[in-house]
Amino acid sequence: MRIAAIADIHMRETDKGKWTEPFKEVSHQADVLLIGGDLTDTGDEAEAKALCDELKVCSIPVVAVLGNHDHEKGRHKLIRQILQSDRVHILDGETFIINGVGIAGVKGFGGGFDNYMLAMFGEDAMKAFVQEGVNEALHLDRALARLDKEHENIKKIALMHYAPIVNTVVGEAEALFPFLGCSRLAEPLSRRHVIAAFHGHAHLGALQGEAAGGVKVFNVAQHVLQQAGYKTPFFIFEA
């Protein structure tokens, strides 16, 4: 089972045609394509339509989550509707199963990492910020638990936009870390024995890290992959 992964496509209307060749090529290289959010650049439905057109050449199933950019104009539900099809699956706490591999997808959220993770403390606004991360981690945990309950010995993969560990955001300014991801997202990965997790969002981050329990974590933001020397900007993982 070959899993191709990328994140942070940031599709603009002027990008029409840019992704046709890469999507054609990845269809020959992998059995499924994961896209870890920031599908559009400004959360505009015209950008989603442009991406939808490009994805038509992709002959393998596509599994994606939305990112913060897809939420920018409050049209994320519309963007999801536009992109969703028989072959394109947008996950927000749901799962998708292919060839014995179960993929759980959430957007995730910020909150910081390890000893510097924000606590549920202080003003309501701060508590709301922390709560959003807690909720996203819960959605991920429930999706993974469902895969385990419904399918014995299934291999589990997690797809998200925000980072679950600090190692794959290293390279970004440290001041930004609390907004790039949250350690709370790593807890379900370890607890549910996920084999690999893919995320994006940290464009200047690092490609590879590991969560507790030996869970492999990959930051597949296209900028990170390009920086790492990938000519076709897709990371390939064999499960």
Binding part of the chain for Fe ion, among 22-30, 82-90, 115-123, 197-205 by CB under 5 A, reads: 197-205
DSSP 8-state assignment for residue 212: T
Task: Tell the smallest beta-carbon distance from residue 59 to Fe ion (Å).
Answer: 26
> Considering beta carbons, is residue 18 or 191 the nearer one to Fe ion?
18
The two structure tokens encoding residue 46: 């015209």
| Count of residues of this chain found to bind Fe ion when the rule CB under 5 A is applied | 5
- Dist CA 164 CA 205 (whole Å): 13
> Considering beta carbons, is residue 11 or 104 the nearer one to Fe ion?
11
Sheet holding 2-6, edge to edge: 88-90, 62-65, 32-36, 2-6, 235-238
Q: Does 209 bind Fe ion (CB under 5 A)?
A: no
CB count in 10 Å sphere of residue 151? 14
Phi, psi torsion values for 224, nearest 5 degrees: -70, -40
Candidate list 63, 194, 201, 224; residue touching Fe ion; CB under 5 A: 201
Task: Tell the smallest beta-carbon distance from residue 10 to Fe ion (Å).
Answer: 6
Task: Tell the smallest beta-carbon distance from residue 180 to Fe ion (Å).
Answer: 8
Task: Tell the smallest beta-carbon distance from residue 160 to Fe ion (Å).
Answer: 11
Binding part of the chain for Fe ion, among 14-22, 46-54, 98-106, 195-203 by CB under 5 A, reads: 195-203
DSSP 8-state assignment for residue 107: -
> Dihedral, CA atoms, 201, 203, 196, 76, nearest 10 degrees?
30
Task: Tell the smallest beta-carbon distance from residue 202 to Fe ion (Å).
Answer: 8
Task: Tell the smallest beta-carbon distance from residue 67 to Fe ion (Å).
Answer: 4
**Residues in 48-77 at the binding interface with Fe ion, rule: CB under 5 A:** 67-68
Q: Could you tell me where the beta strands, DSSP code E, fall in the chain?
A: 2-6, 32-36, 62-65, 88-90, 95-98, 101-105, 155-159, 196-199, 208-211, 215-219, 235-238
> Considering beta carbons, is residue 8 or 172 the nearer one to Fe ion?
8
Place of tokens 């969703």: 84
Candidate list 38, 47, 70, 136; residue touching Fe ion; CB under 5 A: 38
Q: Does 8 bind Fe ion (CB under 5 A)?
A: yes
Contact positions vs Fe ion (CB under 5 A): 8, 38, 67-68, 201
